[in-house]
Structures are given as structure tokens and as C-alpha cells.
Amino acid sequence: MSDQTNRLRYFNILLDSIEQRNQEVTEAFGHHVHWGYWDSNSLADGSVEDFRQAAENLSVKMCEAAKITDNQRVLDVGCGFGGTIATINSRYKDMDLVGVNIDERQLARAREVVVPAATNKVKFVKADACKLPFENHSFDVVLAVECIFHFPSRELFFKEAKRVLKPGGYLAICDFTPADIVMPWIGMLDFVFNGLFPSTYSQNNLNLKNSVTLHDYEKLAEKTGYRVVHEHDITVNTLPTYPVSGRVMRKASPPGWDTEVDMFLTQTMEWFSRQGLYRYVIFSFEALS
């Protein structure tokens, strides 16, 4: 894969905005680049500060799902700007933390902003999620926070994570999963979006037809040697993300057709999520020996 293909359109916008010292984008997406989690939606106030805290909450939820404790070796695959590594670094001690990303520009920022705590080690490595440059059975936990849909294959990633995990270790991921009744329509939606907006659609590496349901994850876990430990539908808790992220991204994006398409695709996703047709789920799996 060329470096150009690894550059997602939304990350180009985020990196440009951060470089131009856009305060709002840096606050909202300069650390975590994922949806927020609110215990109750009535608590969301629509501000970027509130959104940043909610994004932090989601990373904490992921740590809980993966049962992270002190003194572990943790791999965060598709680590963005190192937001979840920073969360772990600030909450646990004696940790050996490794972040992996396919985009070197994001890793450069991660290395700049994540300062290892006194008893922790932090490293960021460029690699593809489906070809991890690590030894067998060398991690206690593998995380993939809101990124598995970008990877070349969920199955290959599950196998790679299993290879690098110690037996009994945990893999935790979060993903957007269509409800069963949507699945027959997914191929058609993908065809329509790809046909109508080929450029924006491919630049965001969206691949709706590769979406999988909750039940597919259960089957995938069984096939690749895991036991499902935790399956938590948090769609409702993530909904306040849409107005704030839509506002920030619209302001930060260059005017034009690609931006209109991005906004439309996100609004479509919001509509499906509000109808319960598209769910945001946190999973964790135990690697069987």
C-alpha cells in the first residue's frame, strides 16, 4: 500500500487544522479520534470540551472491557494520535505500551504528545494491523478503537491479534454494526454511495459491504480462537457525538463537493443510528490457548 492510500481524507483535514493551530479541532480531535461516550445524553452540552471528555470516557470503557491492569504489555492497533495509549499511561503503572498505525504522520504527533509516565514505557510503530511486527504471545491486551472497519480484513486482524496475544489475553474492539434487518440492503447502499460519490467514499476507506453484525463477530471469534467476554451496545451513549463533530468538521473542511458528501454520509449514519439500525458496540474477547 502506498503512503498516499494510507492517508484518510478526514485525517488530512485534522492534521492540516492542527498544524494551523485550529483550537477547536485540536481540542475535539487532537488526542482521541473516535466517538464520545456519555453516561446520560442529558449531560452533553455540545461543547468541544465536553466532547473531549466524552471521547476520553470511551477509551476508559475500552480499558474496562479489556480488563487492563497495572504491569501489562498493551498493543493499541490503529492508534490515531495515541489518545488511548495516553489514557492508559495516565491511569496504570508499570506498563509497556505500544501503538501501531499505518500513517506515519499520525505517529509523529503521537510521539510528540504522549509523554510516558515515570514507571511506563511507550512506543509507536508504523505497521499494518493485519501484519503486526511483533513476536508470538508477547502482549496481554490488544485494542482496536474505532478502526477495524478500515483494516484490510477483520479475520486477518483477529488472527494476527491472536498470534501476538498471550493465551488468556484480551482483544477489545469497538465497531459500528448494522442490525440484522439492514444487512440485505448494505450491498445496495454501498453500491449507491460508491457509484454516486466514488472519490470521497474511497478517500475515507469506507467499505459498507464489509460491515458485520453482532452475530458475525460471535462467529468470527469462534473461528479464530476466542471466547466472547463482553458485548455492550453503547449506541445511545454515543449519539451526542454527531452534532458536535458535524459542526467542528464542517468548519474545518475546505468548501466543496467532497465536504458536502462527507457531511451527508455522516448524517445518514446518524439517522440509521437513531433508528437503532446501526449500532455502536464494544466487544472484548479472550484468546483461547
Q: Among positive and negative, which fits the CA dihedral 232, 138, 226, 181?
A: positive
Residue 289 CB, nearest approach to ligand SAM (Å)? 26
Q: Determine the residue with CB nearest ligand SAM.
A: 80
Give me the count of residues in the chain. Answer: 289
Q: Which is nearer to ligand SAM, 44 or 85 (CB)?
A: 85
Residue 34 CB, nearest approach to ligand SAM (Å)? 4
Q: Which is nearer to ligand SAM, 19 or 222 (CB)?
A: 19
CA 58-208-191 angle, to 5 degrees, is 155
Residue 45 CB, nearest approach to ligand SAM (Å)? 22
Q: Which is nearer to ligand SAM, 102 or 164 (CB)?
A: 102
Q: Which is nearer to ligand SAM, 188 or 209 (CB)?
A: 209
Q: Among positive and negative, which fits the CA dihedral 59, 63, 65, 66?
A: positive
Q: What are phi and psi of 140, to 5 degrees?
A: -85, -35
What are the residues binding ligand SAM (CB under 6 A)?
A: 32-34, 77-80, 83-84, 100-103, 106, 128-129, 145-147, 150-152
Residue 14 CB, nearest approach to ligand SAM (Å)? 10
N-terminal to C-terminal alpha carbon distance within the chain? 33
Residue 277 CB, nearest approach to ligand SAM (Å)? 21
Q: Among positive and negative, which fits the CA dihedral 155, 58, 121, 28?
A: positive
- Please name which of 141, 148, 144 lies closest in space to residue 165, comparing C-alpha atoms: 141
Other CB atoms within 10 Å distance of the CB of residue 4: 6
Q: Which is nearer to ligand SAM, 95 or 147 (CB)?
A: 147
